[in-house]
Chain A
């Protein structure tokens, strides 16, 4: 459109205003994160000083040392990795399989299954929360990894996403493989899944992020410290005995946020494209 070489003065002014507003917005959004990281390296006294410092005057790793020695953060970290990892792998496997069945196979009960899955998309989490907890406690799974993982292994969002994506894959490829005599599992594994790369990436990233950050369910199901995930540990410490140790809590917050930040920054292109096309969080 209109060449940048012939910007008039009014346009230049508009551009300056636009940059100023966007930059101010960026500062408001990002500054708390920067402050969190910087302050996690400050001693307790400096964090609370009035007026506050921006850059650490005294640089210390003390907060992190306490996190990993006095508190069992390595354990919580591993729990988080395990729980989020299992939920992600489970969703990739189960949702792609059922998505394939719903999009490409004709069988009795298919429509009913899809309609039921769609129907649960709008049901608020609080509706299923209580019965899920009753079920998990009746199965004796309170305070177990199974109890933390099982209710989230097969989510309706993933099915919807995979089905919609698979509908766009031409039938010819699958038919050709079938004519060549390939078995159904082989077709799925060798023909269908390799074509699902973008959808699997989107589903994988979204599922990992939401299970990593998930907090209410593990708070209720993990009843002893050895099963805490990172958000649960941080939430309980920030209202409990470590309520007043800001340095410790900020270092804990950095540990919770860092893996997500890395995943997001590395994969942000695919991630934001996935969000824009699927409209899911």
Chain B
């Protein structure tokens, strides 16, 4: 029953007899056209038949919300407008203007920027160190290390927070107990405005470097061994091999890791939400957290505007990383 997706049968060459020519020639063309149209309709039917269930859900819960968010960002929509949509008014760029004068938003933007600028390189270095260590060929139990390092990536942040809040507890927590053994009086990590964001950053590195390790390990294993042999013949030591063979060959993988981590870290939310609730004194308030709070206050239009500023920052950072890290010609 299925017609193979080919061009319709070619029109037969004109026959000699004029009467049959008249009778035959228009018919295949019309039939061919009809067949072509039927084929197209059939293909569309089959294709969209397979695509429809996804497309309906995707349009309703992804594509439309993206457009709705754009529209909301230029209105004064609030949670109370849900019952009375006609009360919503167009306000142009007023949300964005207000945003750039919002001191809490400034605070959140600075915190997020610090977190990204410190956290992304730390995570990459930790992931690369773990991957190079495990790739050195000397290591037994490699899969044990790999599974161990990956463990925090698959673990619920809520469970992690329960454990870490205790680890960092100023009195009973093991971290400060260890410091006490060394004669150091540890701070109240999460309650002190100067140590809260660094604690969150360390937690994020701890939680995420395993992901980069797996990506980098795959990249390292794809580097041809003869490059290292050639480098050794030229008298390169371990560090020189790493610097002049590994790093250049790994550049695309590093770029990928940096972009993915940057996109994720710019959206920092869960760690401060479960560890510090954005405090103390907004020292761990992030942009996403600020948006969430505005949503909680019912300021839907304002929250939408802030989320598009975050989107622009994400695109901007990705472009910047591509510029900095792409292969130099």
Within the assembled complex, what's the spacing in Å between the Cα atoms of A49 and B173?
A: 10
User: Within B7-61, which residues are at the interface with A (CB < 8 Å)?
Assistant: 40, 43-44, 46-51, 53-55, 57-58, 60-61
A151 at the interface (CB under 8 A from B): yes
- Which chain A residue shows the least CB distance to B318? A122
Chain B contacts for A77, CB-based, 8 A: none
The answer to whether A52 touches B177, judged by C-beta atoms less than 8 angstroms apart, is yes
Question: Once bound together, how far apart are the Cα atoms of A21 and B77, in whole Å?
Answer: 54
Chain A residues with CB under 8 Å of B306's CB are: 126
Q: Distance (Å) between the CB of A17 and the closest chain B CB?
A: 10
Cβ A105 vs Cβ B152 within 8 A: no
Q: Which of B51, B150, B288 has the most CB of A within 10 A?
A: B51
Q: Which residues of A contact B58 (CB under 8 A)?
A: 117, 154, 156
Cβ of B158: which chain A residues have Cβ within 8 Å of it?
Answer: 215, 231, 234-235, 238, 253, 256
* Contact partner, B48, options A19, A22, A109, A254, Cβ 8 Å: A109
Closest to B134 in A: A22
Are B215 and A126 neighbours in the complex by a CB distance under 8 Å?
no
Q: When chains A and B are docked, how far (Å) is the Cα of A109 from the Cα of B110?
A: 43
- B161 and A238 contacting across the interface, CB-CB below 8 Å: yes
Which of A98, A126, A131 is in CB contact (< 8 Å) with B267?
A126
Whether A124 pairs with B267 at a CB distance below 8 angstroms is yes
CB atoms of B218 and A113 under 8 A apart: no
CA A126 – CA B267 in complex, angstroms? 8
A21/B133 contact (C-beta < 8 A), A98-B50, A105-B47, A131-B64 known: yes
Tell me how far the C-beta of A229 lies from the nearest C-beta in chain B, rounded to whole angstroms.
10
Asked if A276 is an interface residue, CB under 8 A from chain B, the answer is: yes
Q: Which residues of B contact A71 (CB under 8 A)?
A: none
A120 within 8 A of B: yes
A78, CB-defined interface residue at 8 Å: no
> Do the beta carbons of B1 and A181 come within 8 Å of each other?
yes
User: Which B165-209 residues sit within 8 Å CB-CB of chain A?
Assistant: 165-167, 171-172, 174, 177, 206
User: CB distance B50 to A129 under 8 Å?
Assistant: no
Cα distance A153–B60 in the bound complex, in angstroms:
11
How many residue pairs between the two chains, A and B, have CB atoms under 8 Å in the bound complex? 289
Which of B91-99, B116-124, B307-315 forms contacts with chain A?
A: B307-315
C-alpha gap A19/B134 in the complex (Å): 10
Per-residue contact bits, chain B 60-78, to A (CB 8 Å; 1 contact, 0 not): 1111111011001000000
A18 and B133 contact, Cβ closer than 8 Å, known pairs A101-B50, A256-B158: yes
The minimal Cβ–Cβ distance linking A185 to chain B, given in whole angstroms, is 8
Q: Out of A32, A93, A107, which one reaches B53, CB within 8 Å? A: A93
Q: With A18-B133, A26-B149 known to touch, is A107 a contact of B310 (CB < 8 Å)?
A: no
Contact with B along A235-257 (1 / 0, CB 8 A): 10011000000100110111011
User: Do A94 and B163 touch (CB < 8 A)?
Assistant: no
In angstroms, Cα B81 to Cα A137, docked, is 12
Measured CA separation A7–B85 after assembly (Å): 76
Q: Range of interface residues on chain B?
A: 35 or more
Q: Report A-chain residues with C-beta under 8 Å of the C-beta of B72.
A: 130-131
Question: What's the nearest-Cβ distance from chain B to residue A151, in Å?
Answer: 4
Closest chain A CB from B155 CB (angstroms): 6
Partner of A29, one of B49, B139, B154, B210: B210
The reply on B148 being an interface residue by CB < 8 A is yes
Q: Provide the residues of chain A in CB contact with B273, threshold 8 Å.
A: 216
Is B55's CB under 8 angstroms from A113's CB?
yes
**In the assembled complex, B211 has its CB within 8 A of some CB on chain A:** yes
Q: In the complex, are the beta carbons of A260 and B154 less than 8 A apart?
A: yes
Given contacts A18-B136, A50-B172, A122-B263, contact A154 B50 (CB under 8 A): no
- Give A residues with C-beta under 8 Å from B: 1, 4, 11, 14-15, 18-19, 21-22, 25-26, 28-30, 32-33, 35-36, 47-52, 93-95, 97-98, 100-102, 105-110, 113, 116-117, 120, 122-135, 137-138, 150-151, 153-154, 156, 159, 175, 178-179, 181-184, 188, 209, 212-213, 215-216, 230-231, 234-235, 238-239, 246, 249-250, 252-254, 256-257, 260-261, 264-265, 268-269, 272, 275-277, 279, 281
Known pairs A137-B82, A151-B61, A216-B292; list 9 more (Cβ under 8 Å): A18-B138, A32-B163, A51-B177, A106-B43, A126-B307, A127-B69, A134-B82, A238-B158, A260-B155
The 3 closest A-B pairs by CB, nearest first: A107-B47, A276-B218, A131-B65
